[in-house]
Structure 1
Amino acid sequence: MEQDSALRAHLVKLLSGGQAYQPLSTLLKDLSAETAGKTVQDLPYTIWQLVDHMRYTLEDILEFINNPNYQEPNWPDDYWPKEKAPGNQAALDKSINAISKGKQEMIKLVQDTSNDLYKPFPHGDGQTLLREALLVAEHNAYHVGEVIVLRRLLGDWE
């Protein structure tokens, strides 16, 4: 039981960020829609596309966890926004807030000791809550690094 509690605590820290990289709340704070939609030469995506991709992917993972009738979207078309920039600041803020909400939902799933971290989902092909939590953390960490680099290249980060 002690090991289970320790693992859950480590997962929460990993999902929250801030140990090896900036937490999302810090990274995305004060991000403007204008900056989020700017392109950088030789990069195929904008900050907006990364942020909205992170939102969509997190929501998709949570849908998989919670819905036994889950239908996988088409990769990569359904996972990436077509538009380079958000329609406005409200659209960007909505996507950022959805990431925060989804991350908190994942943390609650991990913290709930009635959820077996190792039991495969009956509607999957071996995925477990542990695997999905690690996937969210890895996916977010990967894209957090990209957003930081883009913000620096755009002169919008220290």
Structure 2
Amino acid sequence: MEQEQQLREQLVKMMRGGIAFRPREELLEGITLADAGKKVESLPYTIWQLLDHLRFAQHDILDFCRNPDYQEPTWPDDYWPKETAPKNKESLQHTINALAHDLDEMVKLVQDKSNDLFAPIPQGNGQTLLREAILVAEHNAYHLGEVVVLRRLINSF
């Protein structure tokens, strides 16, 4: 049981960041509406598109983990926003807040000892909560790294 608790704690640390890189809150701090929509030559996405993709994908993983009636969105069309910039400051803040909220919800699933980390998720085809938590951590780390690079390229970090 001690090992399982250690595993749960490490999963939470991975999802929240701050071990190998700074936490999400720090990486996203100070992103302006103008910066979110700036295009960088030779890159196919803006900070906004990365953030909204992260929001959608993380919510999709959370929904998959807890919704017995889960319906898989269409890849890649549903996962990537077409708009290069948020409509307004409220849209940007909503996305950043949704990232935090859904990550908190995923953390709760992992911390809840009544959820078996190794049991297949009924609406899946072999995926487990352990796998989905690692997926959230890995996916978020990958795209947050891209956000940091974009912020550096547009001189906002």
Identity between Structure 1 and Structure 2 (%): 60
Shift of the alpha carbon at 1:66?
Answer: 1.1
Could you tell me which residue of structure 1 aligns to residue 17 of structure 2?
17
TM-score normalised per structure 2: 0.99
Aligned partners of 2:32 and 2:9: how far apart in 1? Answer: 33
After superposition, the C-alpha distances for 1:46-97 in whole angstroms (9 at most, x for unaligned) are: 0000000000001101111111111110000000000000001110000000
Q: How does 1:31-110 map to 2 (within 5 A)?
A: 31-110=31-110
Aligned partners of 1:105 and 1:42: how far apart in 2? Answer: 36
> Any stretches of 5+ residues in structure 2 without a counterpart?
none
Shift of the alpha carbon at 1:42?
Answer: 0.1
TM-score normalised per structure 1: 0.98
Residue type at the aligned position of 2:13 = K
Aligned partners of 1:99 and 1:142: how far apart in 2? Answer: 15
Aligned partners of 1:74 and 1:109: how far apart in 2? Answer: 25
Residue type at the aligned position of 1:4 = E
After superposition, the C-alpha distances for 1:6-47 in whole angstroms (9 at most, x for unaligned) are: 000101110110111121100111111110000000000000
Could you tell me which residue of structure 2 aligns to residue 2 of structure 1?
2
Segments of 4+ in structure 1 off by > 6 A?
none
Could you tell me which residue of structure 1 aligns to residue 147 of structure 2?
147
Could you tell me which residue of structure 1 aligns to residue 135 of structure 2?
135
Aligned partners of 1:9 and 1:63: how far apart in 2? Answer: 22
Aligned partners of 2:67 and 2:112: how far apart in 1? Answer: 18
Number of residues of Structure 1 aligned to a counterpart in Structure 2: 157
Aligned partners of 1:150 and 1:3: how far apart in 2? Answer: 39
> Any stretches of 5+ residues in structure 1 without a counterpart?
none
Residue type at the aligned position of 2:15 = L
Could you tell me which residue of structure 2 aligns to residue 125 of structure 1?
125
